[in-house]
Structure 1
Amino acid sequence: MTMRLLNMRIALYARRSTDEHQMASVEVQLQEAQRYVLANGGTVAPDHVFIDDAVSRAEFKKRPGLISLLNAANAGQFDAVIVRDDSRLGGDTFRSGLVIQDLLETGTRLFYYYKNEEVTLDGAVDKFMIAARSFAAELEREKTSQRTHEHLLTKARRGLVVGGRVYGYDNAEVLDGEQRVRVEYKINEEQAQIIRELFKRYADGEGLRSIVKDLNARRVPPPRAGKRGTGSWATSAVWSMLRRERYRGILVWNTREKTYKGGTKVRIARDPSEWIRAEAPQLRIVDDELWFAVQARAQTQEHRESRRGAGRPARHLLSGLGRCGQCGGPMTVTNGKRSYETVKVYGCAYSRDRGKAVCTNTLRRPVDGINNAVAKWISETVLSEELLLDVLQNVRERLAERTTKTTTDLPRMEKEATRLRTEIDRLITALATIDQKPEAVIRAIAERQEELSALEARLRGAKAAPEAIHLELRRMEAEARTRLDELKGILTRKPEQAREVISMLFEGPIKLTPIETPEGKRFWVEGSANLWALLAAGCLKSASPGGHERYCTSKKRRMQGYQMPLPVQILWN
């Protein structure tokens, strides 16, 4: 029995796809991987088990387990990774190979326990085999997707349920004895009453915001939105309901296509010629007269929004980054008054759009005052020489800790290397005295030579680590000092660039909470600064290849251990 994992620090990775319904799939993978490790003389630390559950093989951005694995490998936390097979790492012809390449280039070894195989990139043949397997996995994923889509297409043409729940209807099972034959839509009369009310009020000229505030004030249960939901009505939800043809008895399906771009799932609008439309008069909730009255007004509203430039990029410093400290809703920019002057102000979007039943924070403060205070605090406190030195000292201490641990292992590793060399010498001597069937001895020599080569590589790395770390720290310090000046300059330029700096510097949202002061109500602004982001400021540079974005994202994730709370600031405007 080979002991190819002897004295190695081992990590495990398991992934269950969205189309794999066996709940034990991840557990089985980990159990089998553990058996493989034990059989090959290795051990697994509890904090070196990485999991992605219910994640497609085509997804590469929303993969916390895989990203954590790559970050830990880059930090040198283990020597080898055990995975069931290549399909667990991904199912994209190009991206799967990049993941494997990124992993192996950290010096980490990769093993597939199902095939008892080590993955290498030693030559063109190795690279071709990885690409061929990734191609096969992607092809199988496409075929599965096509079969699923064809099945749903048939159900849609029959007017059956092909998705989740829709407000106004229940999903009713049709049984043949105890066996479910199909699932059909059935009108939910209580919700249908609300839908008719929405259509009537909008057709009569009432605004979406007014309707939503009233629904929330009356505590009318809103449509379910899963993890995205806030338990309240939103103007966007009402707007989509007013445009839904299902309420006039016409089912429309296949309007969008789910696909993967940039390593993550996206929805793409299909050409109207591909849409599936099925008449379903039994599902009608509103009559044609009311329906067309609503659509006539909605088209006018859409024209106005297009002229305003709806959907344009954020232009203000905290747009999309600031959150209401009272309800957690987004902070938005609207027009306000200062004396007789119209100015831009920050305010809670939920309070404005959903009413006091959702959030009572009605405070609005000038954008310029808040932006200037936030930018000044970041420039003077976060982007400071003193803070940079603190960060580098923290890094130096942690790396020194890791180096000490590595050098402590040197005597044990050298002793193991000496033992392997002795065994190889003895086997070579024995080989010279054997007349027949030397295959077993040759195989034993090869196995020990493989272990010795890997161990010697680790020894060379451990001995060179102190000097390498010293040089890396000097390089990081020089780069960070240059970036301090760059970032300070960016904060005074275009808001789009300054917003990118802030999103990189802070973990989580920047909260704006209303408080009472002697001068009246003001916003109390707080957040958590990610100090390590100072050293990754180079990610702001544009014109980079596609892989650079993934590297910067991973690098930012690795910096989560270095944080400092942003001291409370009262912004006097």
Structure 2
Amino acid sequence: MRTGEGEGGSGMTRVALYARYSSDNQRDASIEDQLRLCRAHAERQGWTIADSYSDRAVSGASLLRPGVQELIADGLKRRFDLILTESLDRLSRDQEDIAGLYKRMRFAGVRIVTLAEGDVSELHIGLKGTMGALYLKDLADKTRRGLRGRVEEGKAGGGLCYGYDVVRQLAPDGAPARGDRAVNEAEANVVRRIFRDYAAGKSSRTIAWELNRDKVPGPFGREWGPSTIHGNPKRGTGILNNELYIGKLVWNRLRYVKDPSTGKRVSRLNPPSEWVTQEVPELRIVDQALWETVKQRQQAMAIGPAGETDDNPMLDRRRPSHLFAGLVKCGCCGGGYAKISKDLLGCATARNKGTCDNRLNIRRDALEASVLNGLRTHLMEPELFREFCEEFTREVNRLRMDRRAELVSQRKELERIERDLDRAVQAILDGVPGSHLKAKIEALEARKAELTAGLAEANEPPPLLHPNLAEVFRQQIVALHEKLQAEETKAEAAAIVRGLVDRITLVPENGALSIVLRGDLAAMLSFAAHSKKPSLLGDGLVQGSLVAGTGFEPVTFRL
């Protein structure tokens, strides 16, 4: 979170303040305390505060925090000269993150100063980064030790699961007692209903559909889905696999590690020898006979060992089952269109949850044929594709030339401003009072900063398109269509077509499904379907959506 605090004047050190408190210290006043100390230090040093940034109730184990991300972005744009914070671990406790932040800020010419360490150097990064990492590991070990002790006393070691309420009471020493749970009878009846229905032969999809039909709220008030019910037997997830329902508390079945690329926690299955199991008969909801009946049916229906296939790394590398798999969405609820038979696609939300009224289905081959026919019809007719390519080449080249001219103009203006600033400085040296030139110098400096930032972020437009693009384009479209028909090259061609499509929305209209295409292919079809007259470039594609260097921005096109 950023709060503006003023702009630095010419020649003054501009400082950005940063404050953070973690989720283990839930106190908003902590942010203001940190910022107050930093402001006082900046005033003593004669620094001008350019901005302040903060993150509230966020762990320092990752840089994926809005406040610090905004701080980094502004630092790279050189909107300040120095970052001031209470201590280095306020910025991050992760060794890799703090080293990367320091490296990027040093590249941008931005210093890092803390109240605890002073002017931060490579030595601080190495030592404090290691100390921060050790602190996080020690904190995690202590937390796990405390949770284990709580579980061994028969209390919950994690979050609240469906069917139970938190019991809020005080321990003998007056402190809040944590981990106590009590059965929620209304939710417990729903759990028993799910177990009985599954044991009676109903699928998890049917059970979810019926619960939603009866307006039964699911966990956290959400709708019921099949996966919420059947879960993963091996990992103990899902209503049907929660052993707490038979009075058995299992802790440490899973561990969670943070993906360094995304900052999201990912679960990993611990070996059974590390699990902690405690009997809690007072929390039993399902009787043993019903539980065993459900387990027998799960085993009988499993293709292999229960849950084993979920850990197969090859699943992430599977090719799409059909040309537009995963791209087809329902125009009513936004959910996906999935296979409901070998060749038929239907709204998955309507089928699995019953909360969507769109019951219209479409044959997969008919959908693919409609999209590919649009490609062939609009882009392979000799006269039409020549007209399309000529207009496409002309428009893209115009935008690229305009962009190049704009960059040249900005560079010349920047050179002129630098010369004017040099003359103003020389005038002051020659005896002209600085007060007479102050306003002009400030205006020139502001415009210089604006131009410098804009040019630093600007990319040079790519070369102009060749006038003979039409023939090249025709050859590529013909080759793409032929590859889609040949079995040995179908996968390669399909990948190209999928790369041009962002989304296919099926919208019910008068008892039939209308296909709305979104993506680069939609942009090309839309462009090709209209006249070259500029006044007709507005239906689904405006001239502003043509971007020099990238071609078309994704737009929609109705087939």
| Alpha-carbon distance between aligned partners in 1 of 2:116 and 2:428, rounded to the nearest angstrom | 26
Instruction: Tell me the equivalent position of 2:118.
Output: 117
Quote how far apart the aligned CAs of 1:392 are: 5.0
Identity of aligned residues (%): 23
| Alpha-carbon distance between aligned partners in 1 of 2:183 and 2:293, rounded to the nearest angstrom | 22
2:360 touches 2:512 (CA, 8 Å); kept in 1? no
Deviation track 1:245-269 (CA, whole Å, cap 9, x = no partner) reads: 1101101111111233425233222
| Alpha-carbon distance between aligned partners in 2 of 1:185 and 1:405, rounded to the nearest angstrom | 70
Match of 2:146 among 140, 144, 151: 151
Instruction: Tell me the equivalent position of 1:473.
Output: 460
Quote how far apart the aligned CAs of 1:114 are: 1.5
Q: Does 1:55 align with 2:44?
A: no
Helix, strand or coil: the match of 2:180?
A: strand
| Alpha-carbon distance between aligned partners in 2 of 1:109 and 1:116, rounded to the nearest angstrom | 16
Partner letter of residue 507 of structure 2?
P
Q: Does 1:326 align with 2:321?
A: no
| Alpha-carbon distance between aligned partners in 2 of 1:249 and 1:463, rounded to the nearest angstrom | 66
1:495–1:159 CA distance, 2 compared to 1 (3 A): farther
Quote how far apart the aligned CAs of 1:87 are: 1.3
Deviation track 1:501-533 (CA, whole Å, cap 9, x = no partner) reads: 569xx7xxx47251427x93223344799x9xx
Match of 1:216 among 204, 212, 216: 212
Partner letter of residue 96 of structure 2?
F
Instruction: Tell me the equivalent position of 2:512.
Output: 520
Deviation track 1:386-417 (CA, whole Å, cap 9, x = no partner) reads: 67557757866886798689668747976999
Instruction: Tell me the equivalent position of 2:184.
Output: 188
1:128–1:182 CA distance, 2 compared to 1 (3 A): closer
TM-score normalised over the length of structure 1? 0.67
Instruction: Tell me the equivalent position of 1:554.
Output: none
Instruction: Tell me the equivalent position of 1:547.
Output: none
Instruction: Tell me the equivalent position of 2:253.
Output: 255
| Alpha-carbon distance between aligned partners in 2 of 1:185 and 1:132, rounded to the nearest angstrom | 43
Quote how far apart the aligned CAs of 1:155 are: 0.5
Quote how far apart the aligned CAs of 1:140 are: 0.8
Partner letter of residue 277 of structure 1?
T
Instruction: Tell me the equivalent position of 1:242.
Output: 240
Partner letter of residue 273 of structure 1?
S
Partner letter of residue 146 of structure 1?
D
| Alpha-carbon distance between aligned partners in 2 of 1:7 and 1:223, rounded to the nearest angstrom | 56
Structure 1 residues without counterparts, runs of 5 or longer: 120-125, 226-230, 337-341, 423-457, 532-558
Q: CA RMSD in A?
A: 5.0
| Alpha-carbon distance between aligned partners in 1 of 2:409 and 2:85, rounded to the nearest angstrom | 29
Quote how far apart the aligned CAs of 1:470 are: 12
Higher RCO, 1 vs 2 (CA within 8 Å, ≥6 residues apart) = 1
Helix, strand or coil: the match of 2:197?
A: helix
Deviation track 1:295-337 (CA, whole Å, cap 9, x = no partner) reads: 11112333268789895546156555554342233x143155x
Deviation track 1:464-483 (CA, whole Å, cap 9, x = no partner) reads: 96998699616x5589x99x
Partner letter of residue 274 of structure 1?
E
1:34–1:466 CA distance, 2 compared to 1 (3 A): closer
Instruction: Tell me the equivalent position of 2:556.
Output: 568
Instruction: Tell me the equivalent position of 1:426.
Output: none
**Aligned 1:15-94 pairs, distance under 5 A:** 15-44=20-49, 49-60=52-63, 62-94=64-96
Quote how far apart the aligned CAs of 1:141 are: 1.0
1:218–1:183 CA distance, 2 compared to 1 (3 A): same
Helix, strand or coil: the match of 2:302?
A: helix
Quote how far apart the aligned CAs of 1:238 are: 1.1
1:282–1:354 CA distance, 2 compared to 1 (3 A): same
Q: Does 1:162 align with 2:169?
A: no
Quote how far apart the aligned CAs of 1:100 are: 1.6
**Aligned 1:488-527 pairs, distance under 5 A:** 494=492, 501=499, 510=503, 512-516=505-509, 520-526=512-518
| Alpha-carbon distance between aligned partners in 2 of 1:92 and 1:221, rounded to the nearest angstrom | 40
| Alpha-carbon distance between aligned partners in 2 of 1:469 and 1:220, rounded to the nearest angstrom | 56
State the number of aligned residues. 472
Helix, strand or coil: the match of 1:7?
A: coil
Structure 2 residues without counterparts, runs of 5 or longer: 1-7, 231-237, 431-444, 485-490, 524-546
Quote how far apart the aligned CAs of 1:271 are: 1.0
1:249 touches 1:283 (CA, 8 Å); kept in 2? yes
| Alpha-carbon distance between aligned partners in 2 of 1:378 and 1:132, rounded to the nearest angstrom | 62
1:5 touches 1:40 (CA, 8 Å); kept in 2? no
1:6 touches 1:41 (CA, 8 Å); kept in 2? no
Instruction: Tell me the equivalent position of 1:537.
Output: none
Instruction: Tell me the equivalent position of 2:433.
Output: none
Quote how far apart the aligned CAs of 1:199 are: 0.4
| Alpha-carbon distance between aligned partners in 2 of 1:398 and 1:79, rounded to the nearest angstrom | 29
| Alpha-carbon distance between aligned partners in 1 of 2:480 and 2:266, rounded to the nearest angstrom | 31
Instruction: Tell me the equivalent position of 2:201.
Output: 205
Q: Does 1:7 align with 2:48?
A: no
| Alpha-carbon distance between aligned partners in 1 of 2:119 and 2:428, rounded to the nearest angstrom | 20
Quote how far apart the aligned CAs of 1:365 are: 5.2
Helix, strand or coil: the match of 2:20?
A: strand
**305-314 or 275-284: bigger deviation:** 305-314
1:471–1:271 CA distance, 2 compared to 1 (3 A): closer
Quote how far apart the aligned CAs of 1:21 are: 1.9
Helix, strand or coil: the match of 1:94?
A: helix
Helix, strand or coil: the match of 2:256?
A: strand
2:323 touches 2:368 (CA, 8 Å); kept in 1? no
Partner letter of residue 187 of structure 2?
Q
1:462–1:180 CA distance, 2 compared to 1 (3 A): closer
Quote how far apart the aligned CAs of 1:370 are: 6.7
Instruction: Tell me the equivalent position of 1:553.
Output: none
